[in-house]
Structure 1
Amino acid sequence: MQVTRSYDALLSKGEDRRLQIVAAAQRILTRNGWRGTTLAQIAQEVGVTPAGLLYHFSSKEQLLNAVLDARDADDHARADPAGDLAEEIRKTACRIEESPELVGTFVVMLVENLMPDAPLHGRLLDRWRLSVDIVAETIRSHQRSGRYREDVDASVRAVEIIAFINGMEISWLLDRTIPLGDVVAEYSRSLDRDLVAVVVE
């Protein structure tokens, strides 16, 4: 039985060819979507035979998961779950602008796996729920410390925040003239104004 190794494992072992395949898959998936992408196309982009690609990734689904691993590793490296929520939201603008190909691939795969019978639906749904849970817990932590208002529903507000970030990814990829940093900064400021508890002296 073949063990699927994560993107982190590939990176730590310096497996350059596998990383080249993942990078090529990101480019082609962003352009063609996963339904319109074949392993043969990716192999040609990298300069290997389809059999050579299958040596590194035994199936298209395994490669798709490796592409998602790359996105997750990038998010993990940039995020600070214990940090200030407004600042973490502002940082997403830089992440989107600095990694448009990675973000574009994720957006395409997300849209194409909305239906329950899609190959990555379960993983993407779990990922979305985890993101909401992390943000909700950050809000609750600030509520416990007295920084945020206690009457805010953390779970509902977390869904709003994740939806905003996903929406901005799609909007900016569609129209890169959008002043992404300004829009995200203004949203984070308005969120702070709405959430921060008023101190009565």
Structure 2
Amino acid sequence: MSDQRPYATLLAKGEDRKQRILIVAQRLLARNGWRGTTLAQIASAAGVSPAGLLHHFESKDQLLHAVLDARDIDDDVHANRSGDLLEEIERVVQRFERSPDLVGMYVVLLVENLEPDAPLHDRLQARYRFAVDSVAEFLRRGQLEGRYRADLDAATKAVEIVAFINGMETSWLLDPSIPLKNVFKEYIRSLALELSHESTN
């Protein structure tokens, strides 16, 4: 039987190199945006040759989608879509601490791809709609269970909540000294009161 360990070692090294490229790409994209970041810059900062980078990512477009995949996976792994909405909003703060480069990268790419003909516009728009629909579903479930006011428009409120989160990400990128936990705590307190039946009395 042939020894498979050398091949496994090569695979492991390849995956490590791929992850390093992704991490470096996230940092550079957060700082310079996709227009101001080249594959050559990413390769150099990751300590690989341009050919080595292209071995893992065939184009800049593929790499951009890969870093967005990483952000989506991070979101999905740490989310509890059947849990409590207020707890999920509070959990967003952990993303800033856990993956600051992912937060910065996403904000910069979002701003750079607002125009319909931008390369990532459709994907980012779809992700935004998914976020709004997910929050609306949380709200509707709370209404059906009698925890939230029935007269609240879930779709409209969901847009506001997502706008708050996106706005806080942008504000934090401008000023990392913002007391995120306190701001989120106050917003959640205010939202809980608005969603409750007491706010109508």
Report if TM-score (shorter chain) is over 0.5. Answer: yes
Deviation at 1:125, TM superposition (A): 0.2
Q: In structure 1, what is the Cα distance between the partners aligned to 2:98 and 2:170?
A: 15
Amino acid at match of 2:88: E
User: Is 1:106 the counterpart of 2:133 in the alignment?
Assistant: no
Deviation at 1:14, TM superposition (A): 7.8
| RMSD, aligned CA | 1.7
Greater Rg over alpha carbons, structure: 2
Deviation at 1:197, TM superposition (A): 2.4
User: Is 1:147 the counterpart of 2:144 in the alignment?
Assistant: no
Deviations 1:15-44 (A, max 9, x none): 111111111101111111100110000111
Segments of 5+ residues of structure 1 without an aligned counterpart are 1-11
Deviation at 1:52, TM superposition (A): 1.4
Of 158-167 and 95-104, more deviation after overlay is shown by 95-104
8 A Cα contact 1:110 1:124, kept in partner: yes
Helix, strand or coil at the partner of 1:15: helix
Q: In structure 2, what is the Cα distance between the partners aligned to 1:171 and 1:95?
A: 15
User: Is 1:46 the counterpart of 2:46 in the alignment?
Assistant: yes
Q: In structure 2, what is the Cα distance between the partners aligned to 1:196 and 1:168?
A: 24
Aligned residue in 2 for 1:75: 75
Deviation at 1:83, TM superposition (A): 1.1
8 A Cα contact 1:146 1:197, kept in partner: no
Deviation at 1:181, TM superposition (A): 0.2
**Cα separation, partners in 2 of 1:194 and 1:34, compared to 1, 3 Å:** same
Aligned residue in 2 for 1:85: 85
Q: Percent identity?
A: 62
Deviation at 1:186, TM superposition (A): 0.8
Q: Give the TM-score, by structure 1 length.
A: 0.89
Amino acid at match of 1:155: A
Q: In structure 2, what is the Cα distance between the partners aligned to 1:162 and 1:185?
A: 16
Helix, strand or coil at the partner of 2:37: coil
Aligned residue in 1 for 2:124: 124
Q: Give the TM-score, by structure 2 length.
A: 0.89
Aligned residue in 2 for 1:163: 163
**Cα separation, partners in 2 of 1:39 and 1:153, compared to 1, 3 Å:** same
Q: In structure 1, what is the Cα distance between the partners aligned to 2:195 and 2:23?
A: 39
Aligned residue in 2 for 1:136: 136
**Cα separation, partners in 2 of 1:14 and 1:149, compared to 1, 3 Å:** farther
Amino acid at match of 2:39: L
Deviations 1:35-85 (A, max 9, x none): 011000011111111111111101101000000011111111111111111
Deviation at 1:97, TM superposition (A): 2.7
Aligned residue in 1 for 2:27: 27
Amino acid at match of 2:118: A
Aligned residue in 2 for 1:9: none
8 A Cα contact 1:133 1:155, kept in partner: yes
Q: In structure 2, what is the Cα distance between the partners aligned to 1:118 and 1:145?
A: 41
Helix, strand or coil at the partner of 1:115: coil
